Amino acid sequence: MRGTSRSGRSVACSAVAVAIACGAAACGEPRDAAAPPVVRIGYLTNLTHAPALAGIERRLFEEALGEGVRVEAKGFGAGPEVVEALFSNALDLAYIGPNPAINAYAKSGGRAIRILAGATSGGAALVVAPRITTPDALRGAKLATPQLGNTQDVALRAWLEEHGLRADHAGSGDVSIVPQANAQALETFRAGQIDGAWVPEPWATRMLLEGGGSVLVDERTLWPGGRFVTTHVIVRTAFLEERADLVAGFLRAHVRAVDFLNENGPKAQQVVNAALEKVTGKALSPEVLERAWGNLAFTVDPLAASLRKSAADAEAAGLLEPVDLAGIYALGPLDAVLAEAGRPPVQE
């Protein structure tokens, strides 16, 4: 599944091994003290991006990158917005869902980005009004997704197609799909203006508890073992090639963030909630936080097989031209960081 060849992986590992040995500063490379290097990280303000939120709140990125490196982190509402920022060189690395990453790779002819690591599996659902209990009951319904072509939008369209329901890009068909920011979807659902939404956490849980909805589809039930990539890490290819040292430092922090989330239970939830409060102005209620957290799994494994399925679904929905994903992964840097910690590489 992985697009990186074994020889390419060895070259990438060698480059990052040199970067690790050199530390946060490039080997022998003079730096202008007045212009310290900056690492710009993008993420979404969702629980599905908890590794980013934990890394920011605990200052893991600054610690791993070392003195003299400034970290700038920015929250976004949906993956396509992150891609736009990457294309304009406003970001270096980003936490993002599979479909925007695939689109970025395809639109740039395989040049603009690479996937470095996994981050989160699970944490997405179709929440609907309680009167809707079967797929056929959705005929004539209006559903929301965060943005046309984003990961949840593609998942909804693929699921509708499997159940014989048509939804075009203009919001017509058997089911009308409208793009709405997650917070807006919650409000329009509560007001009865939409019949449901396919959304990531914590919005799925908020629609249940605050909007009186019910789960029609837990996306985990659609994947083998319930594992699929919801969030992974991508990098601008140019940044990876030019600053392998900073990429290595970032990945050290990312691995630590994922470990922290998996090992610290309620404490990890509190840290992520504090980060959400800082960036959105409002913390999640304990009930929403605990329930939504149980729908998530954190892993540095990119769960590569699910990416190809997402690409096929986007093609079938007319949102993506056929694309060869060979080369989209650059997992050598992650494997080098894992090896440094005495851990095995991620699986092919």
Domain termination site, one of 225, 245, 273: 225
On the question of a cis peptide bond just before residue 345, with omega within 30 degrees of 0, the verdict is no
Q: What is the pLDDT of residue 24?
A: 34
Q: Are residues 55 and 155 in the same domain?
A: no
306 to 170, 216, 224, 271: CA distances (angstroms): 27, 21, 9, 29
Q: Which domain holds residue 333?
A: 6-123+226-340
Measured CA to CA, the distance from residue 337 to residue 249 in angstroms comes to 9
Domain termination site, one of 203, 225, 247: 225
Measured CA to CA, the distance from residue 328 to residue 116 in angstroms comes to 9
- The sign one gets for the Cα dihedral 231, 111, 6, 309 is positive
Q: Are residues 150 and 271 in the same domain?
A: no
CATH code of the domain in which 188 resides: 3.40.190.10
Q: Are residues 95 and 191 in the same domain?
A: no
Q: What is the pLDDT of residue 323?
A: 87
Q: What is the pLDDT of residue 80?
A: 86
Tell me whether residue 15 is in a domain.
yes
Average pLDDT for runs of 10 along the chain of length 348: 38 40 36 71 95 98 94 91 94 95 93 97 97 98 93 94 96 96 96 97 97 97 95 97 97 98 96 96 96 97 92 88 92 96 86
- Write the DSSP symbol of residue 163: T
* Structural domains in the chain (count): 2
Torsion, Cα of 251, 253, 254, 256 (10° steps): 130
Q: Which alpha helices (DSSP H) does the chain contain, by range? A: 6-22, 50-57, 60-65, 79-87, 98-107, 151-162, 182-190, 203-209, 237-242, 244-263, 265-280, 286-293, 304-316, 332-340
Domain termination site, one of 199, 225, 251: 225
292 to 16, 48, 78, 268, 305: CA distances (angstroms): 36, 9, 19, 13, 25
Place of tokens 């679904």: 313
Q: What is the pLDDT of residue 12?
A: 43
Tell me whether residue 108 is in a domain.
yes
